[in-house]
Structure 1
């Protein structure tokens, strides 16, 4: 995907998140984020929008803590605060120099600007699903190509880091195969190292997850139950992913 496509998706997903939160109310529990209310979700996402915008706008070379808020926005202030920060992030990314040199924390993107546009688009899309889950009713559609890109970011980016907690008692292979895109991943799991994802269907797999890219994307982010997709082979291996793959 192009950077402009990520930014367009970020703009859309942030708007949907705010709309869902407005309909729901700030005190409603979020079933996909146990212990959180919709207000917590909106504050979390809005804080990270501001954090990312600062890194891009100031071309910061290293990680920085989240900016402390003088006080947490609540009540009638919350959604205008969220929309202001979301809009500022979109504008900052659109205005940024394509040659921007700043800190990024995952492999796989062709440039720091592409990284931040991609990361914030997916961050916001997943939390939009959280907001809509709290609201109830059908989820808004998600493009299959974008969902497949999010699977790749998760498997080849987040879980390529040593901090990934996904381990198996012996070497195992998990395959992820969307049925509405030509992407496929083979993920090699072991007791001692982080998962290693390859864009290939070569070789046997102990367990395969298949279904629409959107459902696999949300399943791998633990936003849908395992029975939302087809599971072939060792279902317990899919359970290991569910139990240990949370990103913190």
Structure 2
């Protein structure tokens, strides 16, 4: 996907998040984020939007702390969220292709990183906001879902801080049934190593398969896995250890 596509997705998903949050109300529990109410979700996502905007707008070359969570609530909180979301979208859309700033996952450029990361961040939290309504979340395009799986497996869980580990070597395959997309995740006491496009033939201990959009949400622990074959303990390991924490 190209940068303008990520920015457009970010724009649409932020609007949908705000609409779902407004409909649900600030006190409603977020089913996909245990311990959170809608206000917590909106505060967190709005804080992340402002944090990301600062890197792109100011060109910070190293890590810069976020501004913290606001004390706002209700209509004031939603207005704050919408303002920060709008500024992030506009800042990314206006940024030069040769933007230089800090980023934390592999990407073709810092601008590509921030556009991609914020599109996926906002999409996942839009799903959370819709879960507060008790609704089946809106789906995403197949291409965007494949990209999100790739970012999660090869990006987040390619880092030393990933806790998805096994005492003995194990192999987990992730396969999108509606796309030419297969990932082989090799688990050991070290951080996982994910290989893209490895042939579906090879020995694996467990396979998680399904349409890309379902897999995307399942791997981010928002939905059950569509189809599981082999050792279910690896799916349980993923559920327990794959969470991405803030900070």
Shorter-normalised TM range: over 0.9
CA deviations over 1:174-227 (Å, ceiling 9, x no partner): 000011111110000002x1110011233211111110111111111111123x
RMSD: 1.0
User: Counterpart in 1 of 2:195?
Assistant: 198
Q: CA deviation at 1:31?
A: 1.0
Q: CA deviation at 1:129?
A: 0.3
Alpha-carbon separation, structure 1, partners of 2:197 and 2:109: 24
Q: How does 1:1-248 map to 2 (within 5 A)?
A: 1-68=1-68, 71-107=70-106, 109-191=107-189, 193-202=190-199, 203-226=202-225, 229-248=226-245
Instruction: Say which SS state the counterpart of residue 135 (structure 1) adopts.
Output: coil
Instruction: Say which SS state the counterpart of residue 223 (structure 2) adopts.
Output: coil
Alpha-carbon separation, structure 2, partners of 1:141 and 1:210: 17
**C-alpha contact 2:25 2:74 (8 A) present in aligned 1:** no
TM-score (norm 1): 0.96
Q: Which moved more, 1:115-124 or 1:213-222?
A: 213-222
**C-alpha contact 1:206 1:233 (8 A) present in aligned 2:** yes
Number of residue equivalences? 243
Instruction: Say which SS state the counterpart of residue 103 (structure 2) adopts.
Output: coil
Q: CA deviation at 1:76?
A: 1.8
In the alignment, structure 2 segments of 5+ residues that lack a partner are: none
Alpha-carbon separation, structure 1, partners of 2:149 and 2:71: 32
Q: CA deviation at 1:138?
A: 2.4
TM-score (norm 2): 0.96
Alpha-carbon separation, structure 1, partners of 2:76 and 2:67: 18
Q: CA deviation at 1:124?
A: 0.2
Alpha-carbon separation, structure 2, partners of 1:238 and 1:215: 15
Q: Which moved more, 1:30-39 or 1:195-204?
A: 195-204
Alpha-carbon separation, structure 2, partners of 1:24 and 1:47: 20
Alpha-carbon separation, structure 1, partners of 2:68 and 2:22: 24
In the alignment, structure 1 segments of 5+ residues that lack a partner are: none
**C-alpha contact 2:164 2:187 (8 A) present in aligned 1:** yes
Q: Which moved more, 1:95-104 or 1:71-80?
A: 71-80
Q: Which runs of 4+ in 1 moved over 4 A?
A: none
Alpha-carbon separation, structure 1, partners of 2:193 and 2:229: 20
